[in-house]
């Protein structure tokens, strides 16, 4: 369902912004500003850096291109993101404003004013210092969706260390790989996380991962579920014990950082090998995310904003934790899954907390749509004014349902295209841009995206091509942690002559210049909007003693966008069957995480390969979908 062809059919429908929305927009002349930025993107970002961000010392250059593609932004500027996100609010009238409203799965409500959040962050920053964390060190954070996750992130950033958050849905091997790659001496985790009424034992998973990555010296454990956990003396400490020590005072100096110092690493899947740790830096990143959030979601002082992603993904880093706080916004965060424990939990929360902006993923919309609109109709959703979508193309049915039954044809839908690598929104409307369901509309002001052929020539209208970005932007990842060569090879090699960034996506532009994302061109599979590399799932499968070789493909799915179909060649003498298929699915779940679990495990005698030995996943996919095999000339056999 979420492939390009269907979006084209919806193309003729245009939803112009309502007069009301335009009249009240933060940036009513956005299209003119965007037009002006086409000629001078750096000037646009320079203005935003001055308008939205406080600098300890001003930068002396907006963009430095001397070591392309290792671009630098705002060089010479001194800054800390926590100063902009917290310090300045906690010492202004905003100290009494709510920064965060959190609701647990079982309905407990906890609120944090800016002052309270700032104090908690300061305390934990002091705790991290007492554990030996210094500027430039990495801290791995592996937690459920609790306020202590953003607190741990902000505390790390405050003292100039680099956080590496690993999504709480990942399992042992995935966590171990990320800890080892980031070389974190300190890990912050929870005893457990609540998920659909059950607890996930995060501490056990952490213990297993830590045993596979001997760099870890200290583990700080936040008590969420109260379940029994094993604490290793001298290594493991309870968060609440450390916080009650005199060292954990509510005052902590904010470290002065260079604009280009590291802020965080976030791992994401790619075509080959282990996940890449993308490094984001202190200066440009915050300019990009603050500007995009303000323009796109039209953030106002009185808003109550809900980005329903997990803080453990880039969406959460940029648009749950950092950008809303920089803008002084009140955010809502829910611990549980959509539709849990009852189908209208989200709609009830929107009414209860008077949420005005909801930003979520197509897969969540589709899952709630399945319960029926009557669940939404039971609630007063009139507080909503803007909706958002991210993670994969939104299919027209889901778009219409969201627009009609949640937004009551009053709320524009911001379909934001971007990536872990881009740091912030890249192709997106703002509330004053006419919408077409399924299209992210136009590149944001200052972003020069295009769809081109293999030789770099721009595609004709409605012709599929490579989605590229032709000019640097401030939120861009600066490198792959520990592997700059991989950064160049992955993103800058395909269009090296032109010096363009290749996104890995295919797309087309229509006759109005609107962008339509088709999907990944590489071996990345989007399952429920989560990004998985075939390589990760395949290496988990072959780590099972019965499996000799494995190949995975993504197959379109009504609800999840795609699901994983795995092909396995078994070791000699092993018999395939339903039990083994179930065991292999479980094995992937334990090693990588529930989201990586293949929907189907099929046993085969051979896999189609090129003469150079590469698995031709394209052929496997064509076969499963009953499509023509296409060019098979490079097939070995």
Q: How far apart are CA 605 and CA 42, in angstroms?
A: 55
CB of 4 to ligand WT7, least distance (A): 10
- Binding marks (x or -) toward ligand WT7, 293..332, rule CB under 6 A? ---------------------xx-----------------
- Residue 440 touches ligand WT7, criterion: CB under 6 A: yes
Q: What are phi and psi of 306, to 5 degrees?
A: -130, 105
Taking each continuous run of H as one helix and of E as one strand, the counts in the chain are 22, 30
User: Which residue among 213, 268, 367, 479 contacts ligand WT7 (CB under 6 A)?
Assistant: 268
The string of DSSP codes covering 526-587 is: EETTEEEEHHHHHHHHHTSTTEEEEEEEEEEETTTEEEEEEEEEEPTTPPP-HHHHHHHHHH
Q: Of the ranges 170-178, 457-465, 502-510, 584-592, which one interacts with ligand WT7 (CB under 6 A)? A: 502-510
Distances (CA, A) of 597 to 2, 171, 322, 527, 557: 20, 11, 31, 10, 14
Q: How far apart are CA 68 and CA 472, in angstroms?
A: 9
- Binding marks (x or -) toward ligand WT7, 222..261, rule CB under 6 A? ----------------------------------------
How many CA atoms within 13 Å lie on the side-chain side of 440? 27
CB of 560 to ligand WT7, least distance (A): 14
* 3-state DSSP assignment of residue 486: helix
Residue 122 tokens read as 């300061």
Nearer to ligand WT7, 94 or 526 (CB): 526
Give yes or no for a contact between 163 and 194, defined as CB atoms under 8 angstroms apart: no
Nearer to ligand WT7, 137 or 415 (CB): 415
CB of 378 to ligand WT7, least distance (A): 29
Distances (CA, A) of 422 to 386, 427, 539, 611: 23, 11, 27, 35
Question: CB-based burial of residue 351 (10 Å sphere; 0-12 exposed, 13-18 middle, 19+ buried)?
Answer: middle
CB of 592 to ligand WT7, least distance (A): 15
CB of 523 to ligand WT7, least distance (A): 13
CB of 276 to ligand WT7, least distance (A): 11
Positive or negative, the CA dihedral 395, 333, 331, 313 is negative
Q: Of the ranges 285-293, 413-421, 455-463, 595-603, which one interacts with ligand WT7 (CB under 6 A)? A: 413-421
How many residues touch ligand WT7 under the rule CB under 6 A: the total is: 23
Nearer to ligand WT7, 347 or 418 (CB): 418
CA-nearest of 297, 319, 278, 318 to 504 is 278
Q: How far apart are CA 169 and CA 193, in angstroms?
A: 10
CB of 605 to ligand WT7, least distance (A): 33
User: Which residue among 292, 363, 420, 528 contacts ligand WT7 (CB under 6 A)?
Assistant: 420
User: Which residue among 17, 69, 316, 393 contacts ligand WT7 (CB under 6 A)?
Assistant: 393
- Binding marks (x or -) toward ligand WT7, 519..548, rule CB under 6 A? xx-----x----x-----------------
Give yes or no for a contact between 263 and 162, defined as CB atoms under 8 angstroms apart: yes
- Binding marks (x or -) toward ligand WT7, 457..496, rule CB under 6 A? ----------------------------------------
User: Which residue among 396, 412, 504, 593 contacts ligand WT7 (CB under 6 A)?
Assistant: 504
Q: Of the ranges 24-32, 297-305, 409-417, 580-588, which one interacts with ligand WT7 (CB under 6 A)? A: 409-417
Q: Of the ranges 240-248, 370-378, 417-425, 594-602, which one interacts with ligand WT7 (CB under 6 A)? A: 417-425
* 3-state DSSP assignment of residue 201: coil
Burial 25-41 (b: 16+ CB within 10 A, else e): bebbebeebbeebeeeb
Nearer to ligand WT7, 478 or 526 (CB): 526
CB of 371 to ligand WT7, least distance (A): 23
Burial 602-618 (b: 16+ CB within 10 A, else e): ebeeebbbeeeeebbbb
CA-nearest of 256, 291, 218, 237 to 83 is 256
- Residue 505 touches ligand WT7, criterion: CB under 6 A: yes
User: Which residue among 392, 450, 523, 591 contacts ligand WT7 (CB under 6 A)?
Assistant: 392
Pairing of strands 78-79, 449-452: unpaired
- Residue 418 touches ligand WT7, criterion: CB under 6 A: yes
Residue 113 tokens read as 């004013």
Nearer to ligand WT7, 162 or 427 (CB): 427
Nearer to ligand WT7, 155 or 507 (CB): 507
Q: Which residues bind ligand WT7 (CB under 6 A)?
A: 268, 314-315, 389-393, 415-420, 440, 503-505, 517, 519-520, 526, 531
């Amino acid at each position: 369902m979420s492939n390009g062809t269907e979006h084209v059919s919806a193309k003729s429908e245009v939803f112009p912004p309502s007069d009301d929305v335009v009249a009240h927009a933060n940036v009513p002349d956005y299209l003119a500003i965007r037009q002006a930025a086409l000629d001078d993107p750096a000037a646009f970002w320079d203005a935003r850096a001055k308008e939205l961000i406080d600098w300890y010392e001003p930068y002396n250059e907006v963009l430095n291109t001397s070591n392309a593609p290792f671009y630098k932004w705002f060089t010479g500027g001194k800054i800390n993101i926590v100063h902009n996100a917290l310090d300045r609010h906690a010492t202004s009238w905003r100290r009494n404003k709510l920064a965060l409203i959190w609701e647990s799965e079982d309905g407990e409500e906890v609120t944090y004013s800016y002052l309270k959040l700032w104090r908690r962050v300061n305390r934990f920053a002091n705790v991290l210092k007492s554990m030996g964390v210094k500027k430039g060190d990495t801290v791995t954070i592996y937690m459920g969706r609790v306020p202590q996750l953003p607190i741990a992130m902000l505390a790390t950033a405050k003292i100039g260390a680099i956080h590496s958050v690993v999504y709480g849905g990942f399992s042992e091997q995935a966590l171990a790989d990320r800890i080892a790659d980031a070389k974190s001496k300190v890990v912050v985790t929870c005893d457990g996380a609540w998920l659909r009424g059950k607890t996930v034992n995060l501490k056990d998973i952490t213990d297993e991962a830590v045993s596979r990555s001997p760099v870890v010296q200290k583990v700080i454990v936040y008590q969420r579920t109260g379940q029994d956990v094993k604490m290793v003396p001298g290594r493991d400490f309870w968060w609440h014990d450390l916080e009650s020590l005199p060292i954990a005072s509510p005052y902590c100096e904010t470290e002065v950082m260079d604009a280009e110092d590291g802020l965080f690493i976030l791992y994401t899947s790619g075509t080959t090998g282990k996940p890449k740790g993308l490094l984001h830096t202190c200066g440009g990143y915050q300019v990009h995310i603050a500007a995009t959030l303000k323009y796109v979601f039209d953030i106002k002082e009185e808003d109550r904003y809900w980005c329903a992603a997990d803080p453990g993904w880039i969406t959460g880093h940029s648009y749950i934790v950092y950008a809303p706080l920089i803008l002084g916004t009140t955010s809502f965060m829910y611990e549980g899954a959509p539709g849990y424990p009852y189908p209208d939990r989200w709609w009830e929360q929107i009414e209860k907390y008077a949420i005005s902006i909801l930003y979520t993923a197509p897969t969540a919309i589709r899952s709630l749509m399945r319960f029926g609109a009557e669940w939404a109709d039971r609630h007063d959703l009139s507080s909503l004014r803007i909706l958002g979508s991210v993670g994969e193309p939104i299919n027209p049915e889901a778009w219409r349902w969201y627009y009609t039954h949640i937004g009551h044809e009053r709320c524009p839908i911001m379909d934001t295209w971007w990536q872990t690598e881009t740091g912030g929104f890249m192709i997106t409307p703002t509330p004053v841009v006419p919408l077409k369901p399924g299209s992210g509309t136009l590149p944001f002001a200052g972003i020069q995206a295009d769809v081109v052929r293999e030789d770099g020539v721009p595609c004709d209208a409605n012709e599929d091509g490579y989605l590229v970005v032709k000019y640097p932007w401030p939120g861009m990842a600066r490198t792959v942690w520990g592997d700059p060569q991989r950064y160049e090879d992955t993103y800058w090699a395909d269009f090296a002559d032109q010096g363009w960034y290749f996104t890995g996506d295919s797309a087309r532009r229509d006759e109005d210049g609107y962008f339509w994302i088709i999907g990944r061109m590489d071996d990345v599979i989007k399952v429920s909007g989560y990004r998985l590399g075939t390589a990760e799932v395949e290496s988990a499968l072959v780590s099972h003693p019965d499996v000799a070789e494995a190949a995975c493909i993504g197959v379109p799915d009504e609800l999840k966008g795609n699901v994983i179909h795995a092909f396995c060649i078994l070791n000699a003498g092993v018999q395939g069957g339903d039990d083994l298929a179930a065991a292999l699915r479980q094995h992937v779940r334990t090693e990588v995480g529930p989201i990586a679990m293949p929907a189907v495990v099929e046993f085969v005698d051979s896999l189609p390969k090129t003469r150079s030995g590469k698995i031709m996943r394209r052929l496997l996919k064509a076969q499963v979908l009953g499509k023509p095999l296409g060019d098979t000339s490079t097939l070995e056999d």
